[in-house]
Structure 1
Amino acid sequence: MLLTPLKSLSLCLALLAGSAIAADAVTSPAAANTVLTGKVHLYKQKKDTGEWPHDCTITFEAGGAEQEIDLHDDSYGCTNDDDYGFKIENAPSAALISFHSADNCGNGGDFYVGVKTIKNPTTMVEPMGFSQALSYSPGEILVPGVQLTHSGGSKPNGTLSCVWIRPSPLP
């Protein structure tokens, strides 16, 4: 088969374009594997205006370490027994987060709520009250990207004492 100069040029350009696409496909997964710095924001009682006063922010530990934060004495500045809601920000998929009134993050006391992130990354637009989360059944989606895993109790307001976080393992 004899190629004209124009066909040769077209073939070369097509091969170059294919190489550029292939090179981009090789480098794109690196961006997808970026380590996310997830955060859990805790909020005081919602005001009549609808505003959630911010109490503190807990940042996921580097390297995906499991965390148990005792709000009686924590380094994040959270107030024990004074939070009513939470918001998750930039959390990786498959992170487990639970909120407990029991000091040792146990599933007892006045209430407990456990959630799993199911989107990468997961960021909640608005805070959610613990009492609202208790109205869902395990397995239900609370908001896009956040699934309830377990819950119990009936007095969540102003009784939060412990937050447990287990980020998903790195791929």
Structure 2
Amino acid sequence: MASRGLAIRCLQIKKFGQLLPSCQTVHVISVQPTRDSSYRSNKPIGPPSLYTDVEISTSPEEWKFVERLLPKTFVPKPTVKSDYPSGWKPPAESSCSHPYYVERNRNHMYPLYLKIQGRGEKKTTKLKHIHGDIWALHDDLKKYLEERSKKYVFLQIQEVSGHINIKGDHFSIVEEWLQDNGF
């Protein structure tokens, strides 16, 4: 018996590639729900040509409204202003005077991340995309962090990948240091 929305199948069991005798035939019933979509369950009101009439336009005046809706394939460069409402600052020209450089990510933000582990007990601040003399950056950043926090700060350098891991939550202090130095 089949009810609406269910498909029932009967299968005969095979043993070693041969069908079992009729007295040993086992029927397995598997019930699989099927659902008709609303498109298939509704009856058509008229011929499809009433609903699929398309007008092709090559007018650039109409195309500009379509281009606004398409997603951008890249992040545009920010417009130059003296002050931004979010507090964001573009890289300054003075950042070229340092022996190291911190490259921004593709969204023009600092590559600075806070990693929280162990139910909030272990916090690590990570600074990425460091180019140049990473050891000079380590010394300058460590000196600044220890002056601000008035305690010893542990920094771990990953020279090959260009990362510095800082033990603890120093996200806002490092971000402030990067802004002050023009990175």
Q: TM-score band, normalised by the shorter chain?
A: under 0.3
Larger radius of gyration: 2
Which protein is richer in helix relative to its size?
Answer: 2
Question: Taking structure 1 as the reference length, what is the TM-score of the superposition?
Answer: 0.24
